[in-house]
Structure 1
């Protein structure tokens, strides 16, 4: 089988969607599946509003469809709702192509955090977009239930994985942390308004707050919270020592659909503190590996008492080979259901 993935998030971007797709492809190829990615790297691009480091493709349905047709895929999966995803979702049904979609990002909440656009308007547009597909893949059961309640049809569970070799406990401290007082409370991810990082940095906690990552909010956050240690962006291969050094990994987001970084931190032995919202409630399913509380400070302090060995063991339940197998099973089932609906129409 050959699957063509259309995604507005792809290399050289470093974000949850791009990382998820790269791991899906690596694991899926070992199962005998061929993949082709149609991403922004194939077209002229412009900078995304408020995210200049993210490039948006300038391409219409005809140009995207031409590249899909050239790949001769057995199936098309549209990973994002950006310009490429919209173009592909328009082209596919007009050319007799069955496709699936996935929901990686709480786009309505992200938009509402930046501009005066009600989330309800964005959800209406997204429901129309995803309704054209044969199946909508989501990372957690909680999100699946939520989207189904909003009228999104055919949600399918597609859990994520973690690279247990890349993310494993490491000895020693990164040089930037060597002189900081313990305990270490660590955040890793994009520094942007929707990540709710200020909720973490505002907490009265002992020891040190450490921030790994970059983004449009970095300058503002550094100015407002000079006591926190901002260590900048780290490559995937550089992250494990920071996760391993953390006494608690803090995940303050209320809008992420999953949160791959939680699995990465757990795989390195760091317990998690987070709010009891979609994402964390589906990952932190055992009180031995994290604390979920509306009081984030209380969660951080309680997480200090948890076992690092239990955290690692829990993370190892999530593997990319299993994630890829579920994705492929979803594709087969979605195509069969779509053909059945077409035959009975």
Structure 2
């Protein structure tokens, strides 16, 4: 629905810089554009002066420790008329509690296949338990924003309703085939960009029998193990900006082995760079990749890689040009709801003795 100009928007997120991932990129670009649209946007994140602790098994992610009191003061001072809670971590829980105590409407978003993320790190926790927590968390919102129809359907199967679409974009000026850098590697070059963590399923890619070279751009808790296990792969660590764009455009096929992402923003960045995508036919890739045009989806990932190598890079780039960030930010803007009090049915006076 059309929104008034000059809204005061609070975005509460456990994922923020210096973390490097699609959630942070999405929220950063959304904040920039909302400000350009004329809104007053404040992001409340672990960097907002909270005491933080590293997430067990993933020290790159730091969680605010008991953030409720400080976050409450910050939100009271900012006095937002729109609140969006982007993540289900400790800061997201505190933001939800602040809204509920005041009886205020808010929106949430679902970025990560949280049950899989938790189960891969803590196998003793059943997925059903995590879904119960997700239902409690998101069904309290006026709307939950999701990136793809596949995710929307998945959440509906687990009892999470009132979802709305919030697409993603890509910077087609930064990610451009003209930035292609010659790589001093035998070709073809198979590229992965992203976190090096268990949920990204990197061994499924790095163990493939493929000609040429495998280039891994990124970092994370699994890097040392992966370097030891796959010494023939080339690990660069994190790269950013034009350096990242040049390396990405210098590859031949982007390989996305994850089975647990809700979207996979980096696939759009690869496509904008002219790289076709090879991936599994699962949530995320099935909504991003156009089979036979921008990539190939197979249960046999090696087959997907070899098939993607034959695709037209110019056609891949053309398809990515339709995915702009401004459209995604406008969609986010239209999904926000005023912080009006929740409608609660009060008991009749005769039943309370008033």
Same fold by TM-score greater than 0.5: yes
Where on the TM-score scale, by shorter chain, does this alignment land: which range? over 0.9
> Within 5 A, what are the aligned runs for 1:45-60?
45-60=52-67
User: Whose helix fraction is larger, Structure 1's or Structure 2's?
Assistant: 1
Q: What pairs up with 1:138-177 in 2 under 5 angstroms?
A: 138-173=146-181, 177=183
Show the counterpart of 1:274: 279
Deviations 1:113-147 (A, max 9, x none): 11121111111111111111110001101100110
- Aligned residues: CA RMSD: 1.7
Q: 1:78 aligns with which of 80, 85, 92?
A: 85
The 8 Å contact of residues 77 and 100 in structure 1, kept in 2 or not, is answered as yes
Within-5 A mapping of 1:98-247: 98-115=105-122, 116-173=124-181, 177-178=183-184, 180-247=185-252
- Any idea what the Cα deviations from partners look like across 1:16-65, whole Å, max 9, x if unmatched? 11111001011222222221011111211111111112211123433212
Structure 2: unaligned runs, 5 residues or longer = 1-6, 347-354
Q: In the aligned structure 2, how far is the partner of 1:216 from the partner of 1:78?
A: 26
Query: Using a 3 Å threshold, how does the CA distance of structure 1 residues 226 and 326 change in structure 2: closer, same or farther?
Result: same
CA contact (8 A) 1:106 1:257 kept: yes
Q: 1:251 aligns with which of 247, 256, 260?
A: 256
Deviations 1:159-208 (Å, cap 9, x if unpaired)? Answer: 1000111111135536xx31x21000001100001000100001110111
Is the 8 Å Cα contact of residues 291 and 297 (structure 2) preserved in structure 1? Answer: no
Give matches, 1:295-306, under 5 Å: 295-306=300-311
Cα contact 2:8–2:80 (8 A) shared by 1: yes
SS in 1 for 2:47: helix
Contact 1:27 1:321 (C-alpha < 8 Å) held by counterparts: yes
Q: 1:316 to 1:172 in 2, by over 3 A?
A: closer
Structure 1 runs of 4+ off > 3 angstroms?
Answer: none
Counting matched residue pairs gives 338
Query: Residue 351 of structure 2 corresponds to which residue in structure 1?
Result: none
**Cα separation, 2, equivalents of 1:25 and 1:287:** 34
Separation (CA, whole Å) in 2 of partners of 1:239 and 1:117: 37
TM-score (normalised: structure 1) = 0.94
Unaligned runs of 5+ in 1: none
> Is 1:40 matched with 2:46?
yes
Query: Match for residue 342 of structure 1?
Result: 343
Q: Which has more radius of gyration?
A: 2
1:25 alignment counterpart:
31
Q: 1:15 is matched with which residue? A: 21
User: In 2, are the aligned partners of 1:170 and 1:240 still within 8 Å (CA)?
Assistant: no
